[in-house]
Amino acid sequence: MIYFLLSTLVLAFIFMLPFIRTYSRTTMAIHSNSSFLLHLSLIINALYIGVSQPFIGVNYGQVADNLPAPEASAELLKSTTVGKVRLYGADPAIIKALANSGIGIVIGVANGDIPSLASDPDSATQWVNANVMPHYPESNITMIAVGNEIMSSGEDGLVSQLLPAMQNVQNALNSASLGGKIKVSTVHSMAVLTQSEPPSAGSFDPGLMDILQPLVAFLKNNESPFAINPYPFFAYRSDPRPETLAFCLFRPNSGRVDQFSGKVYSNMFDAQVDAVHSALSRMGFEEVEIVIAETGWPSRGDRNEAGATVENARAYNGNLIAHLRSMVGTPSMPAKSVDTFIFALYDEDLKPGPQSERAFGLFKTDLTMAYDVGLHNSASTHKNPPTSPVTPERETQWCISKVEVGEAELQRNIDYICGSQVIDCGPIQSGGACYEPNTVLSHAAFAMNLYYQNFGRNPWNCDFSQTAMLTSQNPSYSDCVYPGGSI
């Protein structure tokens, strides 16, 4: 029932938007029923915060020697709004611990198992009998990912055996009458694309097309998703400019215009997702669903790994979750949230490679938060959710502009917020209650506070590339009321 209500609200918002709001980039003129849009957006976000969200998932990696017991991890997950979990294998203890939780589970076929599954249908049947049948439906297994990043592994033998393995697993599910209930796919890295900029020019590696064409046809025929791992962190690491960081972290920026489609992108995540969508469309598979099997940001890294900090990890993951909750979608796929699995539940201390590989965890292995990204389920019935120690409730705060910041930077913030199609800036337009004083500083303060209050009231929601600050003094004046709330 709750999802029906949410969907109805979102559809109502989208349907009414063209009639109650018009937006001009050159004049920033927005005419709207301000209370309707603002309150509708607040209602949608409030409802989402109290329920698990099927489009927000997390990766549960196990390359570590200090992980909590599966039962403890299951309780942790149930205390959050995470709706799905992706495993890289099919650990029966974890699958069993998640039974009757309602949390969707993606289980994985190891890369090394692909040859036997491809060559022997009986092997696929045995795999399904061993890893699915003992647990389903009590454990909500929703998909089997056959292999991880095989297409870009350089192992030609595995690449050629990937589709036959997927087909045999699908046939085994069909024989067990689970073909329409559990999907079969595989997970790709962004390296399967040879071009991703601009997004409308996204295209797959021509050298992989002989494999990809029938593989994606298989996905279409079985209504399975195309799963991929976009990481804006890697884009920033190769281009560590301040403007690139803002673009990657969903922070206010000047945006990037796709010169072919004319669409404007305000963040790297949307650009990467739409590049995949363009590549699929170019193959004739526009309708194939995209699932983000991994994305995340490390909280620490080696000295040469630009941007690997707790602050940036909190900003990326927190703003990504807020973006998904907004239901705005991407420029090419508006009004929907792509199912997204954040990497990862815990740090994995045994992973090889640079330090960042061991620093993607949202939670510590003592079950406290590594940093808060707004995943706590306020409606949880679990008596002692395993989160960080509770701090005393803080006073009501508002987000305002820093007085020393230049008008150009503040105007970029206004453009970013008021062009989002979620935040309504009617009160700072001519005739609005907060139009006077007609200054960029005043208008930016009101807009940034709306964004802060609307998207979780977390410190990173009032950063705006260090052009904003929190205050406990109510900035409201005359008839201009700044929404506020306790953190």
The 3-state secondary structure of the chain reads CHHHHHHHHHHHHHHHHHHHCEECCCCCCEECCHHHHHHHHHHHHHHHHCCCEEEEEEEECCCCCCCCCHHHHHHHHHCECEEEEEECCCCHHHHHHCCCCCCEEEEEECHHHHHHHHHCHHHHHHHHHHHCCCCCCCCCEEEEEEEECCCCCCCHHHHHHHHHHHHHHHHHHHHCCCCCCCEEEEEEEHHHEEECCCHHHCEECHHHHHHHHHHHHHHHHCCCCEEEECCHHHHHHHCCCHHHHHHHCCCCCCCEECCCCCCEECCHHHHHHHHHHHHHHHCCCCCCCEEEEEECCCCCCCCCCCCCCHHHHHHHHHHHHHHHHHCCECCCCECCCCCEEECCCECCCCCCCCHHHHCCCCECCCCCECCCCCCECCCCCCCCCCCCCCCCCCCEEEEEECCCCCHHHHHHHHHHHHCCCCCCCHHHCCCCCCCCCCCHHHHHHHHHHHHHHHCCCCHHHHCCCCCEEEECCCCCECCECCCCEEC
Considering the candidates 75, 289, 294, 305, report the single residue annotated as catalytic: 294
149 is catalytic: yes
223 is catalytic: no
Considering the candidates 149, 289, 305, 348, report the single residue annotated as catalytic: 149
> Mind telling me the catalytic residues?
149, 294
